[in-house]
Amino acid sequence: MASAALASRALPPPPRHCARRPRAPPTTAPRPRRGCAAAARPARCRAVAADERPADPSIPEGEDGALSGVAERPEADVVVIGSGIGGLCCAGLLARYNQDVLVLESHDRPGGAAHSFDIKGFNFDSGPSLFSGFQSRGPQANPLAQVLDALGESVPCASYDSWMVYVPEGQFLSRIGPTDFLKDLDAFVGADAVQEWKKLLDAVIPISAAAMALPPLSIRGDLGVLSTSAGRYAPSLLKSILQMGPQGALGATKLLRPFSEIVDSLGLKNPFVRNWIDLLCFLLAGVKSDGALSAEMVYMFAEWYKPGCSLEYPLEGSGAIIDALVRGIKKFGGRLALRSHVEKILIENGRAVGVKLQSGQIVRARKAVVSNASMWDTLDLLPPDAVPRSYQDKVKATPQCESFMHLHLGFDVENAREDLGIHHIVVNDWNKGVDADQNVVLISVPTVLGNGLAPPGKHVLHAYTPGTEPFSLWEGLDRKSAEYRRLKEERSEVMWKAVELALGPRFSREKCDVKLVGSPLTHKRFLRRNRGTYGPAIKAGEATFPGQATPIPQLFCCGDSTFPGIGVPAVAASGAIVANTLVSVSQHSELLDAVGRQICG
């Protein structure tokens, strides 16, 4: 999922994030699995904790930019605004390319929605929680896996293969893989659903070879892509297309079209199958199948329903991904400045030349400025007279996904069922649509895989409504008012009920050690997101995500407001595309060769 430190408008800085407990690397861990990709919307959700979260006590006041030398050296080849996954991937690769890169982070903790925070010894994820692809290697690896490989970093994980599903038809343990989910469908839905799902997999899995033939790390935003991507990997792409046959090749032509077109062409009509597809699309891309890009969904199907696939969770929480990226940046000489809130992007002679911090300090960029903020927040950082009116109008007209409600809990393991699983999805009513507010709740309990994230004998839990909470209900409310507290209590009830369903009759709200409720205002405040949005609600077939370049020379964007779109794999790819574009084709090619040798070695 973008940055909790998205530097946006000149707003007073919010209270700072809480500190995580210091982590010691495991001494007897198995060979680390590299990389990761958010397999569905939970892995991209921008979550934050409640409004009352305290400041980080581990960082003394007055050590803002000085933590990474900004005060001593307030310039860089490339200045990156925001330390979300997209921004960190961009900065990491630029450092790997021997560029002087500086990441400016508004808060006291990097990572954006993927950061972790600690309350009373409970280490909570703020967003990403459902991952796959940590084990993927080679040209077809997911984007974040490839960036981590390029940086020589890894994220140790635990693997599992199922999550609990609570739908109107009943509740069952949904398993990934090519055959296990068919057994679930046969047991809980019927033979008709099994046949339709097999038909879908038979059509989609072959197409995935074409979708994954061009490694994300090979893509750049200029004509050099003809050398680094198309030219280098054309043989494997052509081979994949030929192996698919006429029908598969025809399906491959729809990769940039809505996924519903592939589903419709197969004649799939079973209500559960169609609803399930819409749910997966919405969790992954923020839109249902009639708006989800086929390439993104085909990639997910290949990750979840191919032989030998698994889901993974970082042993030290999603914050471990951020830790690995930051290590990679610093390893290659890059810098990260915390508590460095960008107030505006500086434009001189029509070009982006640096930024001005809220403190008044000027930070110069010799080559480029890269914004990891949303398109709306980036626009607010720019002088209006420097931006073409057509670009301003396009940004303002781009529809937004709604925001979130969040519930973070810490409680005793005796307060939950003994066979508790890590992930749970609750759908209350298919007829309302998976994108209806108060209808879908996702729950993550990562401590079922190990006790490193909580005190002994305790669990941590994060529940949220995935980008369906209307910001309009909250707009203008005073966070200290009784009205705001009442609305939080009212709108969080759907999450409490979902938690009670998942945890069983032993669960008691009163016995929780930690109870935090986050609203769209929390989301907006901590992530500095315009209206607390999940991101652009751009539908495939109607519009496309903009590229990383902007109308202003030397200003680039990465993150969920750019191609390929929303999601951890997508934002990692967007950051890589910007980094690749800012270096020569020969440097880019040398990196691809080096990563290839590293993987083979």
Residue range 555-596, pLDDT digits in tens: 999 999 998 888 888 899 999 999 999 999 999 999 998 887
pLDDT at 245 (0 to 100): 54
pLDDT bucket at 43, cuts 50 / 70 / 90: very low
Residues 6+ apart with CB under 8 A from 197: 181, 182, 185, 273
**Does residue 597 or residue 408 have the better pLDDT?**
408
**Torsion angle, alpha carbons of 80, 86, 89, 94, to 10:** -30
Q: CA-CA distance, 351 to 550, in Å (whole number)? A: 11
**Does residue 6 or residue 106 have the better pLDDT?**
106
**199, 194, 316: which is closest to 324 by C-alpha?**
316
Distance of CA 44 to the CA centre of its chain: 3
Residue 81 has pLDDT above 90, yes or no: yes
Q: Are the beta carbons of 311 and 176 closer than 8 angstroms?
A: yes
Q: What are φ and ψ of residue 164, in 5° steps? A: -85, 140
Q: CA-CA distance, 510 to 411, in Å (whole number)? A: 10
State the average pLDDT over residues 179-184.
Answer: 83
Residue type, 104: L
Q: CA-CA distance, 142 to 82, in Å (whole number)? A: 22
Distance of CA 87 to the CA centre of its chain: 12
Residue type, 278: D
Residues paired with 122 in a beta bridge: 119
Average pLDDT, the chain: 84
Q: What is the pLDDT of residues 182-216, one digit of tens each?
A: 888 888 889 999 999 999 988 888 777 766 777 88
Q: Are the beta carbons of 543 and 55 closer than 8 angstroms?
A: no
Q: What is the pLDDT of residues 439-453, one digit of tens each?
A: 999 999 999 998 789
Residue 461 Ramachandran class (φ > 0 left, ψ -120 to 50 alpha, else beta): beta
Q: Is the dihedral of CA 286, 288, 294, 296 positive or negative?
A: positive
Residue 66 has pLDDT above 70, yes or no: no
Q: What is the pLDDT of residues 299-345, one digit of tens each?
A: 888 778 877 788 889 989 989 999 999 999 999 999 999 999 999 99
pLDDT at 48 (0 to 100): 36
Residues 6+ apart with CB under 8 A from 20: 109, 116, 117, 118, 123, 319
Is 379 strand, coil or helix? helix
Q: CA-CA distance, 138 to 569, in Å (whole number)? A: 15
Alpha-carbon Rg for the chain, nearest whole angstrom, is 23
Residue type, 105: E
Element (H, E) at 494: helix 482-503
Residue 9 has pLDDT above 70, yes or no: no
Q: What are φ and ψ of residue 116, in 5° steps? A: -115, 160
pLDDT at 211 (0 to 100): 67
pLDDT at 140 (0 to 100): 56
**Does residue 45 or residue 358 have the better pLDDT?**
358
Residue 290: DSSP 8-state: T
**311, 18, 277, 31: which is closest to 160 by C-alpha?**
311
Q: CA-CA distance, 397 to 391, in Å (whole number)? A: 10
State the average pLDDT over residues 75-93.
Answer: 97
Q: CA-CA distance, 304 to 315, in Å (whole number)? A: 20
Superfamily of domain 67-116+133-157+315-399+540-600: FAD/NAD(P)-binding domain (3.50.50.60)
Write the DSSP assignment of 221-240 as a string of letters.
SSTTHIIIIIIHHHHHHHHH
pLDDT at 566 (0 to 100): 86
Residues 6+ apart with CB under 8 A from 584: 224
Residue 55 has pLDDT above 60, yes or no: no
Q: Are the beta carbons of 309 and 303 closer than 8 angstroms?
A: yes
Residue type, 472: S
Q: CA-CA distance, 111 to 131, in Å (whole number)? A: 16
pLDDT at 112 (0 to 100): 86
Is 328 strand, coil or helix? helix
Residues 6+ apart with CB under 8 A from 391: 550, 551
Q: CA-CA distance, 597 to 506, in Å (whole number)? A: 53
Residue ranges per domain, the chain?
67-116+133-157+315-399+540-600, 192-304
Q: What are φ and ψ of residue 172, in 5° steps? A: -155, 160
Q: What is the pLDDT of residues 522-547, one digit of tens each?
A: 989 888 889 999 899 888 888 888 89
Q: Is the dihedral of CA 322, 323, 328, 334 positive or negative?
A: positive
Residue 390 has pLDDT above 90, yes or no: yes
pLDDT at 194 (0 to 100): 94
Q: CA-CA distance, 28 to 15, in Å (whole number)? A: 38
Q: Are the beta carbons of 584 and 594 closer than 8 angstroms?
A: no
Write the DSSP assignment of 542-576 as a string of letters.
T-----SB-SSTTEEE-STTSTT-SSHHHHHHHHH
Q: CA-CA distance, 279 to 405, in Å (whole number)? A: 18
Residues paired with 204 in a beta bridge: none
- Structure tokens that stand for 481 in this block: 């008012």
pLDDT at 62 (0 to 100): 39
Residue 293: DSSP 8-state: B
Whole-structure pTM value: 0.86
**Torsion angle, alpha carbons of 338, 340, 342, 348, to 10:** -110
Q: Are the beta carbons of 416 and 491 closer than 8 angstroms?
A: no
**174, 248, 166: which is closest to 427 by C-alpha?**
166
Q: What are φ and ψ of residue 534, in 5° steps? A: -75, -25
Q: Is the dihedral of CA 356, 399, 287, 494 positive or negative?
A: positive
pLDDT at 38 (0 to 100): 35
Is 443 strand, coil or helix? strand
Between CA 413 and CA 421, with CA 415 as vertex, the angle to 5 degrees is: 60
Place of tokens 């390929």: 564
Q: CA-CA distance, 529 to 373, in Å (whole number)? A: 8
Residue 393 has pLDDT above 90, yes or no: yes
Residue 256 has pLDDT above 90, yes or no: no
- Count of alpha carbons within 13 angstroms of residue 6, beta-carbon side: 39
Residue 286 has pLDDT above 90, yes or no: no
Place of tokens 């980094």: 579
